Amino acid sequence: MAKIVEFIPNFSEGRRQDLIEALAAEAKGVAGVTLLDYSSDASHNRSVFTLIGGPEGIEKAAFNLCKLASEKIDMRKHRGAHPRVGASDVFPFVPLKETTMEECVELSRRAAKHIWEELHIPIFLYEYSAAGPERANLAAVRKGEFEGMPEKLLQDGWAPDYGERKIHPTAGVTVIGARPPLIAFNINLNTGDLSIAKAVAKTIRGSSGGYQYCKAIGVMLKERNLAQVSINMVNFEGTPLYRVFEAVRAEARRWGVTIAGSELIGLTPAKALADTAEYYLQMENFDYRKHVLENHLA
Amino acid sequence: MAKIVEFIPNFSEGRRQDLIEALAAEAKGVAGVTLLDYSSDASHNRSVFTLIGGPEGIEKAAFNLCKLASEKIDMRKHRGAHPRVGASDVFPFVPLKETTMEECVELSRRAAKHIWEELHIPIFLYEYSAAGPERANLAAVRKGEFEGMPEKLLQDGWAPDYGERKIHPTAGVTVIGARPPLIAFNINLNTGDLSIAKAVAKTIRGSSGGYQYCKAIGVMLKERNLAQVSINMVNFEGTPLYRVFEAVRAEARRWGVTIAGSELIGLTPAKALADTAEYYLQMENFDYRKHVLENHLA
């Protein structure tokens, strides 16, 4: 069986279609790697790509994409609703098959070193690759955003893991690391009031008393005039999708706001969707391993 | 890749645990076959087994199980809520992997011939194996049930496909055929009034003006005092699970009745559950092939 790693680079460009297509072409051009999906959001001014492949191909794709993004994106001119610190904002590596988390940590370190040495972009390692718990959390690393990074890098405890205490002038810094699979799940509210999405996000995220395995922020989808609760489900067995969806529905009701829709970005394990169906269909004695056909065909 | 056929025999015994276990042991004893699941219902007085395996093993399992059931079940004494015509009531064969429907039709014919010749149980072929459209539908073949079969076999057009126009005295007749995968989906209503389940079933089934790919009857779960809408979803892409579930919810409301729960019998394709999640989570731009992780790991 082949080793398979998932790589989900987030770039600070969600408007220039030509550049987004150039990044996609770059990803497709690496042997042993498959570009599964990419989606862009103009309000966020951000694109998320999903690649899978063997560790060697993924490492090469990470460097090539970072290089192209650093040449084409000028963070000094970047505006967007989503927090970000660099042209290549976050590079997560996820062990999917026949690969350990430790191998993905090693892969993230090699990619970080290569990017610093060749492209002179300082790197923070996060999640399982982090040097300590205070920099494991993406929100903590990203705090201050691109504009605050020059000062943050000089603060105690915020030297980058690779590189100098000085941002790349146009590409900023990049956050790289190994992490378990997560589900990127956005819920759009029928309101143009961003403060409602922010208030709802606060009630559901673990860090402010909500569901333990849920991270959430409020952002604005300007082109649709909808406020969005942008969620990372870091453990869908611990905190299932439907529970967060119903919590968002209930909290938004406080302002007379309904849910306009939701979206999944990148890949979602089939079991997370089956668990959702189990809840809504009020299924008795459902057993995912036993009742789902595909589990018996592998 | 190996050929895999699914075989879902339905037996007219849901109460005698020793016989149910004996049937399970018989299924497990056939080389090249895996017994995935079996479930029994005392009210229905019926058990459904799910086996997968290569065509040869499945053919052998079908004969062995039919033989054991014919030796141990006396239909003259059988009472139960679910329609039935024989000890081995229905034997469907489903092509799952590397197998065509035509191969399953051939398999069903071989099994039918063998059962008639050795066990003297007359066989009706149904679904894709049927000799004509008038006997393709299980409900049409089963009409009259065990008690009406002696007379039905003598009627014009109701000679069995294999065997004489005379039932096996204790085992009745057996319906055998190849069919596409279906989802056996039961919805329990919070009422002890069977007439409500029957009325709801009538509104949702295609044959009486409901959803085209939905078959449904009302049955009673005596031990829980709940009326059940017992459903076969014969094409879950054409008529999705959630649509039928919501239709049952809406129709039952007519009598002030709510849904107590639902259950899946046997195997369900992952996509049917993902489609359900897509609906309830109001997902925008969801693409099962693209967004579900497992589709990229095969």
CB contact under 8 A, A280 and B242: yes
CB contact under 8 A, B277 and A281: no
Residues B171 and B83 in one domain: yes
Residues A241 and A272 in one domain: yes
Q: Are A184 and A272 in contact, with CB atoms under 8 Å apart?
A: no
**Average per-residue pLDDT in chain A?**
95
Could you tell me the pLDDT band of residue A298, with boundaries at 50, 70 and 90? low
CATH number of A200's domain: 3.30.70.670
User: What would the DSSP string read from start to end of B189-252?
Assistant: ES-S-HHHHHHHHHHHBGGGTSBTTEEEEEEEEGGGTEEEEEEEES-TTTS-HHHHHHHHHHHH
Residues B27 and B112 in one domain: yes
Residues A248 and A173 in one domain: no
Residues A223 and A290 in one domain: yes
Structure confidence by residue, pLDDT tens digits, B208-245: 999 999 999 999 998 899 999 999 999 999 999 999 99
Dig out the tokens for A43 from the structure: 């309000």
Dig out the tokens for A251 from the structure: 């909290």
Question: Does the complex come out with an ipTM higher than 0.85?
Answer: no
CB contact under 8 A, A297 and B264: no
Residues B290 and B170 in one domain: no
Residues A272 and A230 in one domain: yes
Phi, psi for residue A203 in degrees, rounded to 5? -75, -25
Q: Which of A93, A12, A83 is nearest to A50 (CA)?
A: A93
Mutation choice for B interface testing from A35, A221, A291 by most B CBs within 10 A: A291
Paired sense of beta strands B226-233 and B183-189, if any: antiparallel
Question: Is B78 known to be catalytic?
Answer: no
Q: Of B159-163, B285-289, B294-298, which gets the smallest average pLDDT?
A: B294-298
Domain enclosing residue A19, as ranges: 4-178
Residue A232: enclosing H or E segment and its boundaries? strand A226-233
Could you tell me the pLDDT band of residue B297, with boundaries at 50, 70 and 90? confident
CATH number of B55's domain: 3.30.990.10
Tell me what pLDDT residue A1 has: 58
Distance CA A114, CA A111 (A): 5
- Number of separate domains in chain A: 2
Tell me what pLDDT residue A111 has: 98
Q: Which residues of A touch B286 (CB under 8 A)?
A: 263-264
Last residue of a domain, one of A178, A196, A219: A178
Distance CA A115, CA A122 (A): 8
Residues A40 and A165 in one domain: yes
Last residue of a domain, one of B135, B158, B178: B178
Distance CA B111, CA B103 (A): 12
Q: Are A109 and A125 in contact, with CB atoms under 8 Å apart?
A: yes
Last residue of a domain, one of A118, A151, A178: A178
Residues B174 and B194 in one domain: no
Distance CA B6, CA B54 (A): 9
Residues A94 and A81 in one domain: yes
Structure confidence by residue, pLDDT tens digits, A33-91: 999 889 999 999 999 999 999 999 999 999 999 999 999 999 999 999 899 999 999 99
N-terminal to C-terminal alpha carbon distance within chain B:
12
Q: Are B207 and B192 in contact, with CB atoms under 8 Å apart?
A: no
Structure confidence by residue, pLDDT tens digits, A122-148: 999 999 999 999 999 999 999 999 999
Residues B151 and B244 in one domain: no
Confidence check: pLDDT of B298 > 70: no
Residues in chain A whose Cβ is within 8 Å of chain B: 4, 34, 36-37, 52, 96-97, 181, 188, 241-242, 245, 259-264, 266-270, 272-274, 276-278, 280-286, 290-294, 296-298
Q: Are A217 and A180 in contact, with CB atoms under 8 Å apart?
A: no
Phi, psi for residue B86 in degrees, rounded to 5? -160, 170
Mean pLDDT of B240-262: 98
Tell me what pLDDT residue B266 has: 85
Residues A92 and A38 in one domain: yes
